[in-house]
Chains A and B, each alone.
Chain A
Amino acid sequence: MPEKTVREMNRLERRHFSLAARTFHATLLGSAVLGLVTLAVGLGLYTYSLVRQYITESFSLSRNAAAVLDELVDVEPLAGLVMDSYRGLDDAERAQTGTDAYRARFSAITEREDYQTVRRTLSKFGGYGNIDAIYLAMYDEESAAMVYIADPDEDPETAMLPCDWDPVTREGMKTFLDWNGEGMLYEIEHTANYGWLCTSGMPIRGQNGDTVAFVLTDISLDNLVHGMKNFVIQYAAAILITMLLMGYFVTRHMKKKLVEPINQITEAAELYAQDRRAGVKDIDHFGKLNIHTGDEVENLSLVMADMEQELNEHEEAMKTITAEKERVTTELSLATRIQAAMMPQIFPPYPERHEFDIFATMEPAKEVGGDFYDFFLIDEDHLCLVMADVSGKGIPAALFMMASKIILQSCAMLGKSAAEILNKTNEAICSNNQAGMFVTVWLGILEISSGKLTAASAGHEYPALRQAGGGFTLLKDRHGLVIGAMDCTKYKEYELQLEPGAKLFIYTDGVPEATDGEGNMFGRERMLAALNEQAGAAPEQILKNVRGAVDAFVKGAEKFDDLTMLCVEYKG
């Protein structure tokens, strides 16, 4: 494997490690291995069959010659004479074999009639084809020598005369002397004088059945070895050419069927990425691919085209969704502003009235909320204060809040009492409350001239009251059911006398139920503590203190409820 990744390679390196190059290398290697194996097998078979043929040829020649000789001459006296003559020599005399002086001793044998017949007969068998020589000889076991009896060779350079001898190996000699007559008698040897030589023979028996001589046939295997060399060279050349051709064609096929289609897909992918970055619509690079290989590569291109199509559609859908989301966001921010504008937001609201000071805030947890506060002058002497919390949050709560607020204010402006206002509002809301929503309301009417506060609660949080000079405490007032729950609910009101300097703090459950990261709630105790931090301060400051305490308590935790507070100070 290459050390670099494909991304890091330059053009030349990519070519080197490309699929085409790898296929070429693999094909070459494969055909080389195959070639070598077939060469070895072919060579073995070639040699075996050729050698077999040589052996058969030479053995049958020896056998035929032996049979003919047996008919024509009695070889035994001739063989006996030669062998006796040889055995009569000492080692020094034997060493002279082949010399004229040595041969002169046995010249009488060559004059013999039977010797002449044997030579003549054998000469008719040899001298053609692959046969190098055919002759009559006998082994001398003692000296491990093959002693020539008659050799029909006419060439004085190579011809052997009676009693000439060649050394032989004892094993070879034993093979011939101990032959049991089965199969073919032969031996292959590498000799110093004649190179690789295959000698096959046929024994000739004497009167008492002993072997007296052998008709031996020599075939030189040098031709065979030479032939093998040629064979190897030609075969190797053929393999090399086949290898290259196969490599070329396989690679060309691979290129066409695999490499080029893959490159096309790669190119399409690159163009796709480019177009996507550029924000082009309806990209169609994979779709245009014209790959018809009918295999996995074609399938890949089709799958990629499908994917491209789906991504295009997804892109379109995403655009629509994003646009939709933006529209909703815009609408929601507008809704936030409308909702905020529904509540008095300018402080001080009545700069010309010095009998009271009022401050309020509303922070929805989402864009729009279900909490609301309200205050308005019913007439010159009556200030109506409202704090309400609709069940749930978000848009449904906000819509319900709007309706509740308008109904409450309309009822209040009719000059009814606090309890009557809640009764009427409850009736109105219950008459058409499909969603089963409800709202908790605390409503109070302050008679400015006297400081008398008439209030009623529809399931709302306890207000916190501070009489002049004291601290804030919870006012556990009378409670009715939340508005919207039961249409027959009747609310009861109560009265409070506010002295100048008294303060009333009303809020929604977002304050005591503000939760920190570990799930702990802010609680009413902490709320009272924050209120009493500066109990004598102006309403605006008191709200800031509570807000500060809530923020310090929840730290970074996500705000999960609307946070709404109102504080009014009666100055008299």
Chain B
Amino acid sequence: MLNINKSVEEESICFALEGKLDTNTAPELEKALKEAIPGTKGLTLDFSNLAYISSAGLRVLLSAQKAMAKQGEMKLIHVNETVMDIFEVTGFTGILTIEKQ
């Protein structure tokens, strides 16, 4: 289960994710991001209520990061320990802008 709450502020968009970002739910986020990214200067992903992220979820973040790198900035906020651990293990801490919880 994954709930995606989108909020727009001028030229930046915030997605608050709630639940698990895995093989089953990653396509939902991918679709939402694909629609939102064009023309966006700032993309914020709020991970306050994200319990888990799998490799499929990482893939979505990676492609979003690559897309946003060309036109603005993407940052992750309120990342919890479980998810942070996954970012660290996979080396994603090196390429993502992360604000810890």
Contacts and interface: CB of A to CB of B under 8 A. Distances in A.
Given A485-B95, A486-B95, A438 B59 contact: yes
A481 B91 contact: yes
Interface in B52-101: 52, 54-56, 58-59, 62-63, 66, 88-92, 94-95
Contact of B55 (A391, A481, A521): A391
Interface stretch (A183-191, A453-461, A542-550): A453-461
B23 interface: yes
Chain A at the B interface: SS class: loop
A391 B59 contact: yes
B74 to A, nearest CB: 14
B20 to A, nearest CB: 8
Contacts of A521: 52
B91 A390 contact: no
A516 interface: no
A481 B88 CA distance: 9
Contacts of B22: 560
Interface residues of B, number: 18
Contacts of A393: 23, 56
Contacts of B66: 436
A471 interface: no
Given A391-B55, A392-B23, A482 B63 contact: no
A388 to B, nearest CB: 11
A459 to B, nearest CB: 3
A298 interface: no
Contacts of B58: 391, 438, 482
Interface string A466-482: 00000000000001111
B90 A459 contact: yes
A30 to B, nearest CB: 65
B88 A479 contact: yes
Contacts of B89: 440, 459-462, 479
A561 B63 CA distance: 22
A458 B91 contact: yes
Given A391-B55, A392-B55, A482-B58, A436 B92 contact: no
A308 interface: no
Given A436-B62, A436-B63, A485-B62, A392 B92 contact: no
- Determine which residue in A391, A479, A521, A561 has the highest number of CB atoms from chain B within 10 A of its CB, and name it: A391
B68 to A, nearest CB: 14
A437 interface: yes
Contacts of B23: 392-393, 560
Interface string A364-403: 0000001000000000000000000111110000000000
Interface string B25-43: 0000000000000000000
A513 interface: yes
A313 to B, nearest CB: 32
Contacts of A392: 23, 55-56, 59
Contacts of A164: none
Contact of B91 (A389, A482, A509): A482
A295 B96 CA distance: 72
Contacts of A462: 89
Contact of B94 (A389, A481, A509): A481
B59 A436 contact: yes
A112 B31 CA distance: 134
Nearest to A461: B89
A91 to B, nearest CB: 117
Nearest to B88: A479
21 contacts: A390-B55, A392-B55, A392-B56, A436-B62, A438-B59, A440-B89, A440-B90, A459-B91, A459-B92, A461-B89, A479-B90, A479-B91, A481-B94, A482-B92, A485-B95, A486-B95, A489-B91, A509-B54, A513-B52, A560-B22, A561-B54
